[in-house]
Structure 1
Amino acid sequence: MSDDRAPRPTPTSTAEGFPEPAELTALGVGRLPGLLGIEVTAVAAGRIEAQMEVTPAVLAPNGYLHAASVVALADTACGLGCRLALPPGASGFTTMEQKTSYLGTARAGTVRTDAVLVHGGSRTQVWDAEVFDGAGKRIALFRCTQLVLWP
């Protein structure tokens, strides 16, 4: 995980062979990511960026961003990244473990995540994601371990 103020490399277009962000966003239509308004904004090898508008639908009853909304944003980015990073011949993946540490919250604006592959093995993948509020303040750290499935 990086420092809040450290410059972050931001992919602006997909590398050859990667789907466009809109194609990955479309996978969520009619499913939880689509219902929450999660949009993929950048795709690169071992990295996915996504964002979500803070609307009443993603808030908790207290008016703050619901913890599950933060997890859904980070987990969606990590899951899409895992899908793109599967080894040849793998049939899919499933989540083995995930952890989220909350450092802040949001009540309005857009929250974004930057998911990065930290381990890409033949049996597991580990992804880290940071979630930021509209001002660029880090509000959550997320890590998940994915089990690679084979036919």
Structure 2
Amino acid sequence: MSEDSSALRDMLNARGAGHLPGHLGVVIETATAEEVAGFLDVRQELMAPNGFLHAASVIGLVDTLCGYGTVANLPEGASGFTTIELKANYLGTARDGRLRGVATPVHRGRTTHVWDARAFRDSDGKTVALFRCTQMILWPSAG
């Protein structure tokens, strides 16, 4: 996809509306083929019953960023992608404020992409999680 970054950002934000990224409150701030960055505001609905940010909320942010990075890099003729593997290492949490994330590509091939992301607190930059995922590129079926 060869859109300028503001057009790509706007398209990705619109794409998330009415879907999980929109419900989580994920906002894409910058989007290029080389990096996707965004945030979500920590709120009660994203917390685990123990009062800490739910692990799935963090995954929702960083997996969205990586997926959107894959969208920005789909090979010509591909019909889409799907996540086939993900891993997260949690190093902290957030109880309020804003959680930010940045995703960057490690590998962008014809059949798979691998993306790394870091989720961190806006208030102090402390890393909450490190994330890696593998995306399988989907192709239209022949006949």
Q: TM-score, normalised by structure 2?
A: 0.91
Q: Does 1:109 align with 2:97?
A: yes
1:3-22 residue pairs with structure 2 within 5 A? 16=4, 19-22=7-10
Aligned mates of 1:16, 1:71 — CA distance in 2: 27
Deviations 1:12-32 (A, max 9, x none): xx9737634233112111111
In structure 1, C-alpha distance between the alignment counterparts of 2:6 and 2:135, rounded to whole Å? 20
State yes or no: 1:150 paired with 2:143.
no
Q: Distance in 1 between matches of 2:36 and 2:80?
A: 18
Structure with higher helix content: 2
Provide the C-alpha distance between the structure 2 equivalents of 1:131 and 1:100, rounded to a whole number of angstroms: 10
Greater mean deviation of Cα atoms: 22-31 or 99-108:
22-31
1:73 aligns with 2:61: yes
Residue deviations 1:46-82, cap 9 Å, x none?
2100100000011111111100000000000000110
What's 1:29 paired with? Answer: 17
1:118 equivalent in alignment to 2:99: no
- Give the total of aligned pairs: 138
Shift of 1:44: 1.7
- Aligned AA (2:35): R
- Aligned residues with identical type, % of pairs: 49
Q: 1:141 to 1:96 in 2, by over 3 A?
A: same
Give the RMSD, CA atoms, in angstroms. Answer: 1.6
Unaligned runs of 5+ in 2: none
1:138 and 2:116 are equivalent in the alignment: no
3-state DSSP class of the match of 1:22?
helix
Structure 1 residue runs of 5 or longer lacking an equivalent are: 1-13
Amino acid at match of 1:16: D
Cα distance in 1, alignment partners of residues 132 and 5 from structure 2: 26
- SS state at 2:49 partner: coil
Distance across 1 between alignment mates of 2:125 and 2:5: 30
